[in-house]
Structure formats: C-alpha cells, structure tokens
C-alpha cells in the first residue's frame, strides 16, 4: 500500500476548497487547503507535500507568481487549475514548470486521475521528471514541444495529436530507449479515453506511428516489445 500523499490545494473559493478537500480525502489523499499566496507560503513552511494544486486566478499574488516561487523552493509537482480553454494561460503555466493543468470547471475524477498520474511520474525516477527548462524534445528530426503540447515534423509543420496521443508520445520521449509497460501506459491514458484501455493504447500507438510516418509493420521509431510494451528507439535531444 502506498503511503497517503499530502497535497497542498490553493484556491480562493472556500466552497471549492472544502469540497475538493473532502473529495480527495475520500480518495485517501491528505489535503491542506489554503486561500491565497500568503497562506500558501505559511503552509509550505509548516508542512511537507508531494504535490500542489494551484489555481491560476488568485486574489493578490497571482498563481503564476506563486508557481515561480514554489519552483524556486523545490521541484514539487504542480497541477494548475486554469481558466477554461485559455490556451495562453496553459502555455505560460506549462512553461513555468507546471506538470499538468486542468481547466476549470474541472471534472473531479479527471483531476484525481491527473493528480495520481503526476504523483506516479514524480515517484518514478528523478531523471525523467518533467523538466521545466526543457522547451522541446528532438528525436529523429521531429520536435515535441511540451509547453504548447504540439509535435512538429522535420519541416517545422505542426502535426495534430489527440490528447491521448500526446500523453503517450511524451511518456515515450521522456523515457526514450526504455520499455514502457502496458500498465504504465494505461495509467497515462486513464481518464482520457472512453473505450477499453487496452485497445486504446494500441490504437493510439498505431495512429502515432502513422503520424510519425513510422511504417506500422516495420516500425523503427516506436517499437513493439514482445510481452506487452512499447519503446521509443531514438536519440532524444533536449532543447
């Protein structure tokens, strides 16, 4: 059994704070909820947390400033709550080193899934943790930009990805030349796909191969590992 993670939730709406705390505690996550940057700093100094859920829109000190401050303190994972569909917020947040973002109004179960995924990644291995300094990954002339969640082909043309495909590719790129088991991939895609997860992964991989022009029957880039898993066989440069 995993130890109970402790999360710091920063949101200015008392109701949301209380409800979120209750919801997460029901899911065996310990929560400390505070309303603004001042309280957050105090709570940060008095506790030990595994993850921060941070609302971008805070009274007084903005969520972005607070994220910057937190990043200065440690590399604790941050999940940002952003304004719905405000892509610029998302991009800024991710560039500042948020590990994930959830648009408001969020689905509590999706937030939970993201929190778990980020915690698992954090608990994974230190060297594959999301590195805020990385503006992009280059592999086999392709470029993956986490801040903008986009993939550029060798000519610099964006190639669209679904959310699931992006998550899958990012996981593969961050762990290049290492086998990702089906279980790990299932975690990544959970909460995104409606269909059966097993099939979803195979479908997502085959679509990714098509987009990367990686011939499915003789795939060179994303290789299938016998026994259930995939590996990105390429040198990845961090930009």
Partner 1 sequence: MKLYLWPRSLATRTALVLLLGLAIVQVAGLTIHALDRMDVQRLAQARDLAVRVASFYRTIALTDPGRRPTVLADLHRGPDLTAALAGSPPDVDMPEMPTPEQRLLRVNMSMVWMGAPNLRWREMVIYGGHPWGKVVVAMRLPDGEWLNVRAKLEPLRPWHSPTFLVAFSLMTAVAAVLTLWAVRRLTAPVRLLAEAAEALGRDVNAPPLPENGPTEVAVAAVAFNTMASRIRRFVQDRTELLTAIGHDLRTPITRLKLRAEFIEDDEQRGKILADLEELEAMVSATLAFGRDSRAMETVTSIDLAELLRTILDDAGDARPDVADRLTYEGPSHLTVQARTLSLKRALVNLVTNAVTYGGAARVRLALQDDRMVVIEIEDDGPGISPAEMDRVFEPFHRGEPSRNRETGGVGLGLPIARNILRAHGGDVTLANRPAGGLRARVTLPV
The contact set with partner 1 (CB under 8 A) reads 13, 15-16, 19-20, 22-23, 26, 83-85, 87-88, 104-109, 150, 153, 155-162, 164-165, 193-195, 200, 207, 211
Nearer to partner 1, 1 or 194 (CB): 194
For residue 216 the two structure tokens come to: 């499915």
CB of 196 to partner 1, least distance (A): 10
Nearest approach, Cβ of residue 181 and partner 1 (Å): 23
Nearer to partner 1, 45 or 84 (CB): 84
Smallest distance from partner 1 to CB 65, Å:
20
Q: What is the dihedral of CA 73, 78, 80, 81, to 10 degrees?
A: -110
What whole-number distance in Å separates Cα of residue 133 and Cα of residue 165? 23
Output the smallest distance, CB 19 to partner 1, in A: 4
Both tokens assigned to 231: 């590996």
Please, what is the minimum distance in Å from the beta carbon of residue 160 to partner 1?
A: 4
* Structure-token match 């440069």, residue found: 237
Measure the N-to-C terminal CA separation of the chain; round to a whole number of Å.
38
Q: Which is nearer to partner 1, 180 or 204 (CB)?
A: 204
Question: How far from 174 is each of 8, 33, 82, 224, 236, CA to CA, in Å?
Answer: 26, 32, 24, 17, 8
For the CA atoms of 220, 134, 51, 84, what is the dihedral angle to 10 degrees? Answer: -90
């Amino acid at each position: 059994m995993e130890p109970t993670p402790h999360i710091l939730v920063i949101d200015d709406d008392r109701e949301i704070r209380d409800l979120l705390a209750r919801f997460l505690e029901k899911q065996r996550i310990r929560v400390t909820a505070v309303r603004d940057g001042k309280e957050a700093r105090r709570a940060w100094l008095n506790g030990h947390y595994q993850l921060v859920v941070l609302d971008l829109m805070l009274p007084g000190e903005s969520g972005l400033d607070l994220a910057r401050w937190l990043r200065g303190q440690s590399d604790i994972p941050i999940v940002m709550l952003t304004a719905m569909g405000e892509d610029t917020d998302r991009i800024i947040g991710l560039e500042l080193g948020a590990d994930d973002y959830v648009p408001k109004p969020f689905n509590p179960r999706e937030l939970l899934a993201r929190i778990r995924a980020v915690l698992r990644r954090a608990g994974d291995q230190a060297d594959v943790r999301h590195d805020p300094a990385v503006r992009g990954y280059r592999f086999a002339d392709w470029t993956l930009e986490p801040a903008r969640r986009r993939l550029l082909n060798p000519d610099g043309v964006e190639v669209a990805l679904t959310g699931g495909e992006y998550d899958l590719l990012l996981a593969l790129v961050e762990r290049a030349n290492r086998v990702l088991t089906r279980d790990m991939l299932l975690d990544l895609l959970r909460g995104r796909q409606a269909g059966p997860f097993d099939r979803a992964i195979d479908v997502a991989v085959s679509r990714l191969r098509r987009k990367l022009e990686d011939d499915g029957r003789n795939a060179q880039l994303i290789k299938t590992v016998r026994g259930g898993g995939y590996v990105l066989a390429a040198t990845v440069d961090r930009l």
